[in-house]
């Protein structure tokens, strides 16, 4: 995950968001994945970066990009 992207993940019984490359988590903890993902999405849109949402096992469950897409890629 490139520096600056937003990641939503589960740890210690709660859902969190963090900015890749920065210390700690942002915006506190969330009771559900949906709450944390909504908050993370808002942050990613404002920062114009990718938002990665992980499942309980740490696997990527969803990934969305909100800026800096390469439009010159064919297909």
Model pTM?
0.84
- Domain spans, the chain: 6-65
Q: How many CA atoms lie within 13 A of 58 on its CB side?
A: 2
Residue of 21 and 3 predicted with greater confidence: 21
Strand, helix or coil at 37?
Answer: helix
pLDDT in tens, 19-38: 998 889 999 999 999 999 99
Rounded to an integer, the average pLDDT of 1-12 is: 88
For residue 52, the Cα-to-chain-centroid distance in whole angstroms is 4
Which of 62, 70, 54 lies closest to 17 in space, CA to CA?
A: 54
Residue of 36 and 68 predicted with greater confidence: 36
Tokens for 36, please give them: 């944390």
Residue 68 has pLDDT above 90, yes or no: no
């Amino acid at each position: 995950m490139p520096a600056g992207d937003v990641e939503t993940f589960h740890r210690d019984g709660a859902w969190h968001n963090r900015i890749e490359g920065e210390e700690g988590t942002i915006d506190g903890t969330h009771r559900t994945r949906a709450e944390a993902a909504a908050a993370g999405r808002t942050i990613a849109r404002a920062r114009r970066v990718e938002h990665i949402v992980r499942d309980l096992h740490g696997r990527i469950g969803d990934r969305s990009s909100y800026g800096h897409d390469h439009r010159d890629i064919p297909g």
